Structures are given as C-alpha cells and as structure tokens.
C-alpha cells in the first residue's frame, strides 16, 4: 500500500516502500506476510539459496542434473506479482575480486545465473551487493557485460552512505573513507550505464550536509534504512533524527524509495485490547508507519511546480527567436508570468518619474518604444505604469512576427489605444524610426541572459534612443556553476553523437547537485554608445568545492542570468537572487563530453567564450584543470543562434 496521497507527490516513485527479507523458498507466503499483512509495497528478497556454490555442485558430480536452488518456480506468482512486488537481491557472499580463484569463479557464475533468473521473472530491479574491497574492476567488468544485454531490468549497486571527515581516522571497518569514490569508480568502469543505479545504506551517523548533497545529482533509486538507525520517541515508537528526516524528505523529492531492513529493535507498548491484532501485526510495521508519516507530512507542491513536473530534468533546445517566429502557445506561456510584467511595470514607472518631474507631467509626453512587442504584454505594462504615475506617453510597438502583429492590432482596437500606440511590423534592427525614444523596453533575455541575442538586437535598436535615453533592461549578467547531473548526462549520451554534447539545453533542473556557488560570466550594458562596441566575450573561472564535500563528478554547468531592469528593479533566475514565483525561464545546461572528477583540494578551472560571426553567435567552453577537456562547440559547429 503506497505511503499516502499528498498534493503533487502522487506521481512520485518514492511513495512505494520496500522491506528487506531473508531467503525463503515459499515466496507466496513471503509476499502475503510482508505485503498483505505488513503493508509494504514490495520485498527485497534473495533469489538463490545462500548456501549454494557452483563449485560444490561440480565436485559432487551431476551439474547437468542439478536444479538451481532458486526461491521456487516462476509459476508460484503471477508475472505481474513478480514484476510489481519483488526486487531481487543478488547473493551477498559473492566476491568477484577475491584472491581466491574458486570463490571468484563461483561468484561470477552465480551472479550471471541470478540475473538470468531475474530477467526470466521480468523483475524491475535487482540489488547488487557492495563491492568487498577497494578494487572492484572484475566485479564492474562482469556487471558491465550483463548491462549490455539488459533491456528493462535495472541494477542497484548497494553502497553504504559513509564519508569520514578528512582528518579523522574512524572510517568504517572496511577502510572506506568516502563511499561516493566506490560508486564513482564502479559507474565509470560500467561506462555510465543508465540501467545502473545506487541503493544507499543509510547508517545511524550521517556525513556532512554538503557531502550528502552530492548524491542528489546521482541516480539513487533506493535508501535502505536499518532498524538500528532509528531512535525511540517518548512513547517508545521508532523515529529518526532531524538530520535523517531532512535526508529522507530530500530522497522523497527525488523519487528515491525507502526500504526498511533489519530486525525490530523497539519493544513497542502493547495495546490493551488488540491481542488478536498483535498476532497478525508485522514486526516492522511501526517502522513503515513512521516512514509513511514522514511522506505524508511533506509540503504539497505549489501549483506552478505541479504544472512543471513534466519538465523536470527534460532537455529542451533553446528558442531561436530571431530566426524563427514564436508560436501562440509559447507567447501564452510567457504572458501567464505576471511577476515578470509587474517588475517591468515598476521599472517603467520609475523611469517615467525620473524622466518627467511632477510639475511637467501634464505637458511632456514620453516616447517609449517596445522592441519585440510580441502580443502586447509589455505595451500593457508600460501603459499601466504611465497611468499609475500620471505621465503622458506615446508608444511604438515594434514586432517582426506578422502573426503576433495581428494580435497586437486587435488588442489596440479592443483596449482603445489607437491614439497612443503605433504598431510597427518590422525587425527592430532595420526599422527607421520617425523620432527618437526616451525609453526603450525589451524582453529579449534568454536563460543565459544574452543567449537569445539581446545584445545584437539592442545594439541595432539603440540608434533610435536619445543620447540620454533609458534602456529597460539596463544591464544583464550570465552566471554558471558546476553540477553533478547523472540523468542529464545520460540523456545527452543516449543521442550517441557529438552535436548533443556541444549543445546548451534549457532544462528545469531537479536531480542535480550544485557543487559550488555560481559565478558571473558575461555582462552587457545598454545603451552602449561606445565606438568600439563588441559583443564577443571570454571569461576564465575557478571553482572550489567545499572541503567537507568530498570529491564529485562534474557533468556540466548550470547557467542563469540576473538583469537590472532599471535602478533597483531587477529580474533573474540566479539561485541566490532569483525573482520569486517567476517561471518564464528555466536554467540552461552546458554538458561536458567527458565528465571531470574534482577533489576539494584541486580547483576546477573553466573557460567560456561568446563568439560572433556574420550570421550567427555561439558559445565555446572547456575545462583546463584538474584535467583538460576537449574544446566544446568549436566554430559553433553543433550549436549556434542565428542572426
């Protein structure tokens, strides 16, 4: 029974909770006890008798007649029961990197037999045991061979969630100081296969916040919580520490399923009249109830987040607003963003008041040009600013899309703006204005600020701005930050070509770990009357991971912008200063062809270029340290924005 229904969470995989069980050759009873009685959604159960060793069978002769000691026939459950209610647990004794050749060969044979059986049963996933030593090359090689042949079965590698503080010697008994390193080497040996994920063993003590944050960008599928990681509340029931609760809430938000493991360690208070029920009650039920309680107390998703659920970690090619005319649906989406237009209205109102003193408000008329007027939201915001400030205004609405111009004409007629608004159906770069403007208003910004050619458009349009005229926006800056983003990297890799690794994508970032604070890249200021105006840019940046974070894999860079509309009125999506409740822009993502492993003691050095040609503008990017990456998108060969 799922953990509960909660506003916006009902679509999340995390509403299912499993239980880890011992081997049983009576699978129907195992399911009945744990699912019907216990209330869990699935069992994490061994598929093979733990005493089985292929070499012993051979030694006794008769490997041809021997029936493999699986947990019963495939017929004991229906195919849908196997698929929905059982996650296979590969024998935990296997050690494919053992010095003992017999054990190593037995392990390899057994692993392949169990995966073959799980595939036969149409299981959705199998749990691989934690690698035994620091070297896992042979284990990873065998798993990688298996992955090549899988279609639907997912493999979860069990990894303990540990990270000792660099100086302390009290690492785990296996000598593991940072389990992320173990996972990273295993997944790199398996070529970043998207069918390989992580199941984290959550311990009673947790690593630092920043260290835990790395896992949010990895493909974590399950969090296995041992009963001895639970505390006891005042009523004697199991509960988790505040830090554990926060971690589990983060997992729920990232579609990670919780699995309860271990024997009950809480002596629960007995209810007076529930003797009959007590005999039926599952020994781990109180742990499940607590996990369900944590799930149900999650805040409902805000309305806008629910609308955007389908866009989470979904790669979209950026708009080409100069080359292509936008469709009605795109305009519709942008126009719904009321916060953005409130900010524009505030900026225009301040500019009008600065431009025209109160005593001259009845005689002076401000000429305002909206360049790239679309279907008119900026025209409306500007006229509302004029009404609010009591200033007289004349508006030119310049728009190159003939389809949007039709809507503009109807809007002007419907609102009775004929005497105030003049519509110009023309590209702003080629229009000859009959008079100079006091204020130039535009919404040409992309997710990375200048990536929809705002600088080129406004340079072309500023010739009809008075020397002391105001541009709204007056400046904008792009920002980047390194991220771990396994899902995005795998989605790009699935395209199997270079071009997709050299394209910047607009994406609603979700399963992403932000590894260091963002830094500014390029800034543009308008108007720019300099005779040496040049929109080419180059920036070298150096990022340092927090010391307690541990190492991380950088799959690419998240990009944002922040803009000053006018004076103290700003608009942007850079996380630390983002305009609240605004949804017109998702961040941009610049992938790396080969992910770069970064350690806290070695800075990440990144280079970004904005290049301009006669017919296009493009970005090039590369990493020079700690390991050099190839140059991405040379000459705009894969991704560019057309002029």
Segment 482-502 shows an average pLDDT of 97
Kindly name the residue from 20, 114, 443, 502 that is annotated as catalytic: 443
| Confidence at residue 89, expressed as pLDDT on a 0 to 100 scale | 97
**pLDDT the model gives residue 171:** 40
Say whether pLDDT at 197 is over 80: yes
What residues contact 90, with CB distance under 8 A and at least 6 apart?
A: 46, 47, 111, 114, 115, 126, 127, 128, 129
Give mean pLDDT, residues 314-321: 84
Say what the pLDDT of residue 95 is. Answer: 96
C-alpha pair distances (Å), 512 with each of 254, 507, 557, 623? 10, 11, 10, 19
Pair type for strands 365-371 and 437-441 = parallel
Neighbours of 92 (CB within 10 A): 14
Residue with the larger pLDDT of the pair 590 and 275: 590
Contacts of 561 (CB under 8 A, 6+ apart): 445, 446, 447, 448, 449, 450, 476, 477, 478, 479, 572, 573, 574, 585
Indicate the pairing of strand 238-239 with strand 231-232: antiparallel
Give the model confidence (pLDDT) of 453-483 as tens digits: 999 999 988 899 999 999 999 999 999 999 9
Which is nearest to 610 in space by CA: 486, 458, 456? Answer: 456
Mean pLDDT, rounded, of the chain: 92
pLDDT of residue 5: 63
DSSP letters spanning 243-280: HHHHHHHHHHHTTPEEEEES-----PPPPTT-HHHHHH
624 pLDDT higher than 90: yes
499: helix, strand or coil: helix
Beta bridge mates, 610? 537, 619
CA distance 376 to 328: 12
User: How many CB atoms are located within 10 Å of the residue 626 CB?
Assistant: 15
- Quick check: 461 and 427 in contact, CB under 8 A? no
Whole-angstrom distance, CA of residue 642 vs CA of residue 614: 9
**Radius of gyration of the chain from Cα atoms?**
30
pLDDT tens, 563-606?
999 999 999 999 999 999 998 899 999 999 999 999 998 999 99
Q: Indicate the SS3 state at residue 574.
A: coil
pLDDT surpasses 80 at 274: no
In degrees and rounded to multiples of 5, residue 419 shows phi and psi of -80, -10
Gap between the Cα atoms of 427 and 121, Å rounded: 62
Confidence band, pLDDT 50/70/90 cuts, at residue 320: confident
Q: Is 356 helix (H, G, I), strand (E, B) or coil?
A: coil
Q: What is the DSSP string of 518-537?
A: -EEEEEEESS---TT----E
Q: How far apart are the first and last CA of the chain?
A: 56
SS3 at position 473: coil
How is the chain split among helix, strand and coil, in percent rounded to 5?
A: 35, 25, 40
Q: From CA 500, how far away is CA 496, in angstroms rounded?
A: 8
pLDDT of residue 168: 42
pLDDT of residue 435: 95
Distance CA 283, CA 264 (A): 6
More confident residue, 475 or 306: 475
Q: Say what the pLDDT of residue 63 is.
A: 58
64 is catalytic: no
Q: Which of 452, 456, 502, 620 is catalytic?
A: 452
- Helix H or strand E encompassing 593: strand 588-598
Percent of the chain scored above 70 by pLDDT? Answer: 94
Nearest to 91 by CA among 119, 69, 111: 111
Per-residue pLDDT, 173: 40
pLDDT digit string, tens, across residues 292-303: 999 999 988 888
- Please name which of 228, 184, 223, 239 lies closest in space to residue 205, comparing C-alpha atoms: 228
172-176, 274-278, 412-416, range with greatest mean pLDDT: 412-416
Model-level pTM? 0.92
Interval 356-410: pLDDT, tens: 999 999 999 999 999 999 999 999 999 999 999 999 999 999 999 999 999 999 9
- How long a stretch of residues is the chain? 643
Q: d(Cα 607, Cα 522) in Å, to the nearest integer?
A: 12
Number of helices (H), then strands (E), belonging to the chain: the values are: 18, 26
Contact between 404 and 412 under an 8 Å Cβ cutoff? The reply is no
Confidence of residue 136 (pLDDT cuts 50, 70, 90): very high
One DSSP character per residue, 185-232 reads: HHHHHTTT-TTEEEEEEE-SS---HHHHHGGGGS-EEEEEEEGGG-EE
Binding residues for S-adenosyl-L-methionine: 331, 340-341, 399, 427-428
- Reply yes or no on whether 443 is catalytic: yes
């Amino acid at each position: 029974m799922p953990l509960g229904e909660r506003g916006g969470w009902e679509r999340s995989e995390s509403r299912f909770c499993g239980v880890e069980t011992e081997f049983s050759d009576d699978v129907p009873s195992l399911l009945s006890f744990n699912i019907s009685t216990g209330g869990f959604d699935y069992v994490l159960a061994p598929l093979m008798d733990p005493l089985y060793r292929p070499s012993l069978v051979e030694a006794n002769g008769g490997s041809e007649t021997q029936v493999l000691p699986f947990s019963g026939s495939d017929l004991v459950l229906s195919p849908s029961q196997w698929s929905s209610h059982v996650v296979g647990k590969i024998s935990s004794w296997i050690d494919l990197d053992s010095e003992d050749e017999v054990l190593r060969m037995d392990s390899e044979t057994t692993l392949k037999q169990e995966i073959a059986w799980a595939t036969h049963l149409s299981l959705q996933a199998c749990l691989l045991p934690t690698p035994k030593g620091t070297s896992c090359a042979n284990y990873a090689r065998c798993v990688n061979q298996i992955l090549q042949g899988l279609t639907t079965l997912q493999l979860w590698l069990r990894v303990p969630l540990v990270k000792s503080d660099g100086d302390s010697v009290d690492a785990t008994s296996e000598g593991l100081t940072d389990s992320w390193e173990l996972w990273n080497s295993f997944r790199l040996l398996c070529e970043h296969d998207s069918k390989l994920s992580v199941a984290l063993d959550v311990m009673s003590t947790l690593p630092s916040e920043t260290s835990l944050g790395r896992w949010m960008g990895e493909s974590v599928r399950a969090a296995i919580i041992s009963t001895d990681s639970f505390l006891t509340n005042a009523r004697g029931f199991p509960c988790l520490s505040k830090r554990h609760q926060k971690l589990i809430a983060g997992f729920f938000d990232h579609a990670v399923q919780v699995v309860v493991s271990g024997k009950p360690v809480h002596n629960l208070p007995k209810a007076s009249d529930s003797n009959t029920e007590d005999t039926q009650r599952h020994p781990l039920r109180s742990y499940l109830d607590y996990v369900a309680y944590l799930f149900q107390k999650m805040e409902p998703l805000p309305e806008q987040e629910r609308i955007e659920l389908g866009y989470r970690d979904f790669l979209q090619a950026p708009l080409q607003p100069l080359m292509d005319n936008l469709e009605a649906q795109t305009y519709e989406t942008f126009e719904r963003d009321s916060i953005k237009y409130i900010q524009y209205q505030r900026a225009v109102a301040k500019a009008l008041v600065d431009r025209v003193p109160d005593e001259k408000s009845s005689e002076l008329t401000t000429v305002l040009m909206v360049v790239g007027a679309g279907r008119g939201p900026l025209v409306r915001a500007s006229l509302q600013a004029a009404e609010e400030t009591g200033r007289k205004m004349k508006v030119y609405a310049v728009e190159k899309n003939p389809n949007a111009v039709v809507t503009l004409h109807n809007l002007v007629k419907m609102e009775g703006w004929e005497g105030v608004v003049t519509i110009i159906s023309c590209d702003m770069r080629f229009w000859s204005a009959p008079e100079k403007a006091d204020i130039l208003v535009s919404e040409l910004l992309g997710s990375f600020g200048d990536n929809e050619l705002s600088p080129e458009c406004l340079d072309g349009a500023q010739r009809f701005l008075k020397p002391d005229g105001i541009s709204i926006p007056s400046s904008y800056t792009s920002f980047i930050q390194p991220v771990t983003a396994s899902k995005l990297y795998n989605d790009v890799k699935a395209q199997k070509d270079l071009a997709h690794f050299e394209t910047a994508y607009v994406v609603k970032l979700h399963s992403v770990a932000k590894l260091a604070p963002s830094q500014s890249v390029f800034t543009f200021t308008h108007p720019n009357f300099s005779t040496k105006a040049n929109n080419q840019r180059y920036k070298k940046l150096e990022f340092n991971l927090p010391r307690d974070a541990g190492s991380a894999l950088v799959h690419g860079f998240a990009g944002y912008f922040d803009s000053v509309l006018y004076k103290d009125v700003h608009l942007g999506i850079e996380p630390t200063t983002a305009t609240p409740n605004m949804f017109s822009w998702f961040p941009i993502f610049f992938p790396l062809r080969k992910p770069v492993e970064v350690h806290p003691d070695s800075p990440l050095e990144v280079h970004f270029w904005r290049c301009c040609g006669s017919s296009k503008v493009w970005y090039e990017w590369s990493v020079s340290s700690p390991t050099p990456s190839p140059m991405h998108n040379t000459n705009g060969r894969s991704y560019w924005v057309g002029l």
